Amino acid sequence: MIAEAKPNLGHFAITEIEKLLGDRFKLITQNVDGLHQRSGTQKVYEIHGSKQKVRCSKECSEPFDFPENIKYKEYMEDLTPDDIDDLKCKKCGNWLRPHTLWFDESYNEKYYHFDTAYHIADHTDILFVIGTSGSTALPVNIVETVKIRAKWIVLINPENDTYFDYILKGSKTLHSIQESSSVALPQLKNMMEEMINS
């Protein structure tokens, strides 16, 4: 499903916003699908990892692209002996694992940009929170860090009853856009373009 997914208008708008803002732009994402990179965005910090990468389960090597010679399989289809060999670390022989944060694991800087995400939150003047409900720890902490600093937070979400709506209630620096990202972000990109070019 991830391999067949395509970037939408929101992804492409983010890429255009990055071009407009240059070094002032940073994208922290929970998404593991790689669609931001496929749409052309450069400064992407994947705090939950990437489905396109694997790493040694014993942590002896850095993450690398999923082996190309392993073909997609149906759920009930068995691995071949070659598949099994290719799913083992070439350095130590242990199993490879998806390069994604699992529920029983903790964030860290090495794989999930933990310190970098906090650094970005500490130095941002405006944080856009797009399409997430606030159900995982690091995104919530990023929003709370920006809120404490009394900087602007813009929520873009079709729903208005997320955890973020709850913790930001009454904030004077909050703006909420109850719209999908594929509608709101192209409009936001056009507004930024007009402001920068005027």
Which amino acids are annotated catalytic? 48
Cβ atoms of residues 153 and 173 within 8 Å: yes
CB under 8 Å to 93, separation ≥6 — which residues? none
Say which amino acid occupies 137: A
* DSSP-assigned beta bridge partners for residue 67: none
CB under 8 Å to 64, separation ≥6 — which residues? 53, 54, 55
Residue 18, judged by CB atoms within 10 A of its CB (0-12, 13-18, 19+), counts as: buried
